[in-house]
Amino acid sequence: MTCSIEVVAQKYRGLRCTSIADGLANLLKQAEANEISHLEFADQLVEHEQNQRNGKRIELNMRKAGFPVTKRLEEFDYRHQTTITKRQVNQLLDFRFLDERANLVFIGPPGVGKTHLAIGIGHQAIDAGYKVFFSTTISLVEMLELAQLKGELKQKIASLQKFDLLIIDELGYLPMNKQGVYNLFQMINAFYEYRSVIITTNKDFTNWGEFFHNDNVAVPIVDRIIHHSHIFMLGGESYRLKQKLEN
């Protein structure tokens, strides 16, 4: 029985192996040129499909993450930011902290690389197969408040829990109202020992009462965040300011 490449490709499409179907002609040519065995060719077909699916999954998860910019860890300037080392960051990239539901907290003044590190780690996590969501604190509080007004706060928090990692950027730059604090506490409480959070903030924990308006609220939030966490204190002058002055 003879059949055409188009007929076989259509059968693969019927099995939802679209990458094999699309690349079948080239894969066959490569197999014939390299004179590989039937078993090796069968393995190549599966590997090709898996690689294409992984690429599409990473691309989709990258879009869902909502990163405002692309920041890679290999671009981070450890010569300028000497309060954290490349080894310390690389030790996080086995992502044991995600598997253990631990948190990362980057504390330091504006412009010292906190957001760069958070986004860079987020990118690497997606490449490793995890789901990540990024938000500034202001946007997150607004999102939760809108859900609360609609009577959908629990559903919104549940939707955020579908991500393995939530990055909350710029916590403490602006104060929050009472309802915003309550909503954020509900989310942090829901994530506690269930999902991981990366937080960037310009204030150390002793000053969190300033933007939560109440130490009685700040203390339980801090307690849940730092119970299982890796805390990094970043210092130095603003990297953005340094670049601007040099240009």
For 62-76, what is each residue's pLDDT tens digit?
999 999 999 999 999
Give the mean pLDDT of 81-92: 93
Which pLDDT value is given to residue 237? 67
> Is residue 1 pLDDT above 80, yes or no?
no
- pLDDT for the residue 245: 35
Dump the DSSP string for 114-129: HHHHHHHHHHHHHHTT
Question: Across residues 10-23, what is the average pLDDT?
Answer: 85
**What gap in Å lies between CA 181 and CA 175, rounded to an integer?**
9
Q: Is residue 213 very low, low, confident or very high in pLDDT (cuts 50, 70, 90)?
A: low
d(C-alpha 55, C-alpha 57), whole Å = 5
pLDDT at 209 over 80: no
Give the other-Cβ count within 10 Å of 123's Cβ. Answer: 19
pLDDT at 222: 82
Which residues, listed in sequence order, are joined to residue 110 by a DSSP beta bridge? none
- Is the domain defined by 73-246 classed in CATH 1.10.3720.10? no
Q: How far apart are the C-alpha atoms of 126 and 73, rounded to whole Å?
A: 13
pLDDT tens digits, residue range 88-125?
999 999 999 999 999 999 999 988 999 999 999 999 99
**In whole angstroms, what is the distance from residue 195 CA to residue 182 CA?**
19
Residue 214 has a pLDDT of 65
Residue 183 has pLDDT above 70, yes or no: yes
Asked whether the predicted pLDDT for residue 227 surpasses 50, the reply is yes
Q: Is the pLDDT of residue 167 over 90?
A: yes
**Amino acid 148: pLDDT:** 95
Give the residue, 90 or 217, on which the prediction is more confident. 90
Cα 127 from Cα 28, distance rounded (Å): 29
pTM over cut 0.85: no
- The predicted pLDDT at position 74 comes to 94
Q: Is the dihedral of CA 202, 136, 63, 157 positive or negative?
A: positive
**CATH 3.40.50.300 segments of the chain:** 73-246
Gap between the Cα atoms of 172 and 182, Å rounded? 15
For residue 35, the cross-strand partners are: none
Confidence of residue 2 (pLDDT cuts 50, 70, 90): low
**Exposure of 233 in the CB half-sphere (CA atoms within 13 A):** 3
